[in-house]
Amino acid sequence: MAEEDGQERTEEPTPRRLEQAREKGQIPRSRELSTALLTLGGSVALVSMGAGYVDTLLELMRAGFALEWRDIFEPTRPAQALGHALLTMLGLLAPFLLLMWVLALLAPIAIGGWNWSAESLAPKWERLDPLTGIGRLFSLHALAELGKALAKFLLVGSVAIWVLHDAEPELLGLAAEPLPLALAHAGTRIGELALWLAAPLLLIAGFDVPFTLWQHAKELRMTLQEVKDEMKDIEGRPEIKGKLRRMQMEFAQRRMMDQVPGADAVIVNPEHYAVALKYEAETMKAPKVLALGIDEIALRIRALAGASGVPVVESPLLARALYYNAKIDRDIPVALYLAVAQVLAYVFQLRADHELPGAPIRMPEVEVPAGVRTE
């Protein structure tokens, strides 16, 4: 019955629904992707810059322990030493922190794009409803989160145990190494451990990203009735109606202009009217109107006809009669058969004799019946 009533959410979200969701801050986000990229980026930074970090920290330690006892009682000397140490640490950590900040921004943008929504900052009081909270505990989303948490625990834990077990002799041997070498060695091993831990996180993110996109699309699906209501709402707006009308007119004009180069003749009033006609004796029972217009559109038809080599015939009475009585993509009115036949016969004869002029053709005014004549 739900499907018959149109209440089943089977329809893909419309562009307006997607736009409204973004305005509310409802966009796909994968925390697993963020965690994986941050872990991977941090571990790569530790491996590549770990030795430099250790050397700088050793220098700071030596400088701190090298203070003479007299310097401690100087009012400015301890503050200078502390300030120097803080600036050195800031310069040391700045590239790492900048990398983490960039990755923290890129990871969410990667699947949901950049979005700012003040509405998402507003408190949602419905989340305080205990019944709703209990329902969320047993939802598909909660089960998926539980599955991801268990997968992370098992995969990351297994990889950590394996890496630590493999590196056990090396780690125990650090105690026998000189302090600078042991610190550098330990920093490298920590970075390598982080790299190994990033691998299962990337695997989990590879499953989580498609699931997040599918779940987001599923949440935004609409019922058939919602789609119909939205279309009625959009079509009922005056600005939308006006835009649709303008688009339809522009499309019709483009289509009409595209047909002008295929016309057999363009009949014009020298300044204001233009009508493009086509006639094929084998397939048409009467000449057909391909394009018509006045003023600016008439000038465009004339210009396009001239550029395409279509004959332009000046016949003011016939041009006005065709404009007011004929329709685009329709046969000309029966009352104008004879007048149009005279013009086309004249044009076809000039073409057969290869005497078509480049300028508009001036011919004696043809007889236009009084019933369709427009002065």
Reported pTM: 0.47
- List the chain domain ranges: 18-112+129-221, 259-372
CA distance 1 to 323: 55
φ/ψ of 3, rounded to 5, equals -70, -35
Q: Let me know: does 290 contact 276? Beta carbons within 8 Å.
A: yes
Q: Which two tokens stand for residue 95?
A: 């590239």
The torsion of the CA quartet 321, 326, 329, 330, rounded to 10 degrees, works out to -120
φ/ψ of 8, rounded to 5, equals -75, 135
CB atoms near residue 352 (< 10 Å): 9
The pLDDT of residue 2: 43
| Residue linked to tokens 């209440």 | 7
The pLDDT of residue 3: 45
The pLDDT of residue 4: 43
Low-confidence ranges of the chain (pLDDT < 70): 1-7, 50-51, 67-73, 113, 115-138, 141, 234-242, 244, 375
Q: Let me know: does 112 contact 27? Beta carbons within 8 Å.
A: yes
The pLDDT of residue 121: 59
The pLDDT of residue 87: 85
| Residue linked to tokens 């310097």 | 71
Contacts of residue 103, defined as CB under 8 A and 6 or more positions apart, other chains included, come to 34, 37, 38, 41
CA distance 304 to 268: 13
The pLDDT of residue 137: 67
Residue closest to 309 by CA, chosen among 340, 265, 369:
265
CB atoms near residue 160 (< 10 Å): 14
CA distance 98 to 194: 19
Q: Which two tokens stand for residue 235?
A: 């079509």
* Superfamily of chain region 259-372: secretion proteins EscU (3.40.1690.10)
The pLDDT of residue 1: 39
| Residue linked to tokens 């217009």 | 293
